[in-house]
Structure 1
Amino acid sequence: MLFHRILPQYKTAISTYLTPTHCRLYIANLVTSRRMTNIEAAKKLAAYRAVDENLPPHAKVIGIGSGSTVVYVAERIGQLPNKDDFVCISTGFQSKQLIIDNGLKLGQIEQHPSIDIAFDGADEVDPQLNLIKGGGACLFQEKLVASASDKLIIVADFRKQSKHLGQNWRQGVPIEVVPIAFTKLINDLKRLGAKSVDLRQGGKAKAGPVITDNNNFILDADFGIIEDPKSLHLQLKQLVGVVDTGLFTGITEKVYFGEESGEVTTWDGVVTGSTTEEVIAESK
């Protein structure tokens, strides 16, 4: 019945050629497709709002990160009539291409070490605006740009919301390491409490480990639920061979989420110690 309500114009033809199982699969795919369309539209809306509400009118240097939602950030910035008045600093290869593809001027952080504002994505966000980043293996340059910025704005979809870091992001904390040290660091990380540590592989695209833009390796260390991200980050940074970690603490000003409903939720870190649901309620 649901199938016939969704596609009444195809009722006779499709019922003739598809079994009930095929019909159910088609409906499931259609619902999933519509859901993903809503999410994608919300991501775009979140990115546009983030730019419109936060970009200083006289900004001269803008940081642009990576991620599926940041694509829309670059798109929105590329629509600005004064885009020739500022330069954009990338956090890696993908964001460099986003800058170029949207007709923006590409700058280097060596030439522009002070950045007015940066926009980036995240793999997971808790209510205190702590982040896990580095799923795209760009964490060091992302943190460099973020730390050089007067303001960091994060854009993502609702699936990145979490009560605690490590609750939804199960791949572990990304850690950029000097290649020669990775074996020793695996042992060090386990001694610090990591349940598992994996050297990230290139998969089908590359035989062997992932190589970062800085010619380093990425270790993914699963610490489970992370109650104190700042403390863990400081412990990890003390290990010889660690370049930086994917734990971003005390650096984010605001987060824009594209919701499944097609709406946008914002977190600003004002509500402390609340559950994700309470923060969402406060934000709407």
Structure 2
Amino acid sequence: MSNSSSVEIGKQRAAHQAVDDYINSECKVVGIGSGSTVVYAVERILQRPELKDIIYVPTSFQSKLLIVEGGLTMGSIEQYPDIDVTIDGADEVDSQLNVIKGGGACQFQEKLVAEAAKKFVIIADYRKKSSQLGTEWTKGVPVEVVPIAYKSVMKSIENLSQKPLKSTLRMAINKAGPVVTDNGNFVIDAHFGGIEDPAQLLREMKLLTGVYEVGLFCNMAEIAYFGEADGSVNTLTL
């Protein structure tokens, strides 16, 4: 078995275990996050007929498609502001369950749905584990900004207590111009290296005029499930 195949098996098992541990027929509303591992979570939901009557709230266009194409019942955060559990992926998870998210540019809706949940569960592969945020995920902290403010926000980021190494406007791959989020905004990737105090950095960035959301999820996750390189699953709780 190739390493990539075993990683995928690990991701699948982590997602399936998270669904089995946290989603049952007593749940009324469940948040569905974004990313490659979440595909396996929806796969597991569809394998369990007793979960078909639950309302599922998406965090992105991707998760909306997963819900619709799976024949599940979709709701919105406006309709269902109280969520039993949200399952989502991550770009990096530190030893204190602080998380970087937003590599797929969905951090605003992901955070909205995560904060609405009684329980927030992370599923990822072992490459997303780190002792300190910013050491494994080296693409920067995603910062969603109102388009007209992106240059002023980039300038303001330079004055934070933890100085960034650099900040870049995320550009689209198959389109000339910047990435545009589901909310019509731009994304700045702010590179800090190892982040000493994620919660403090989050507070400082949220105060910057023009910032829509920051891809730092601090003191939110209850547990993280990691698919290991050998296909096994490990969990992290505080």
TM-score (norm. length: structure 2):
0.97
Where does residue 143 of structure 1 map in the other structure? 111
1:106 and 2:94 matched: no
Q: Are the equivalent residues in 2 in contact too, given 1:83–1:104 (CA < 8 A)?
A: no
Where does residue 248 of structure 1 map in the other structure? 217
Q: Which has the higher helix share?
A: 1
1:257 and 2:235 matched: no
Change (3 A) 1:144 1:179: same
Point out where structure 2 has 5 or more consecutive residues left out of the alignment: none
Distance 1:84 1:197 in 2: 43
- Map 1:117-132 onto structure 2 (within 5 A): 117-132=85-100
Determine helix, strand or coil for the equivalent of 1:85: coil
Distance 2:47 2:141 in 1: 35
Distance 1:262 1:99 in 2: 26
Q: How many residues align?
A: 236
Provide Cα deviations, 1:142-176, integer angstroms capped at 9, x if missing partner. 00000000001100000000010000111110000
Distance 1:266 1:46 in 2: 9
1:200 and 2:190 matched: no
After the TM superposition, which segments of 4 or more aligned residues of structure 1 sit over 6 Å from their partners? Answer: none
Amino acid at match of 2:184: N
Structure having the higher Rg = 1
Amino acid at match of 2:159: R
Determine helix, strand or coil for the equivalent of 2:196: coil
Shift of the alpha carbon at 1:224?
1.1
Amino acid at match of 2:34: S
Point out where structure 1 has 5 or more consecutive residues left out of the alignment: 1-32, 270-284
Distance 1:261 1:128 in 2: 24
Determine helix, strand or coil for the equivalent of 1:250: coil
Distance 2:69 2:87 in 1: 17
Determine helix, strand or coil for the equivalent of 2:2: helix
Task: State the identity %.
Answer: 52
1:220 and 2:152 matched: no
Deviates more, 1:126-135 or 1:70-79: 70-79
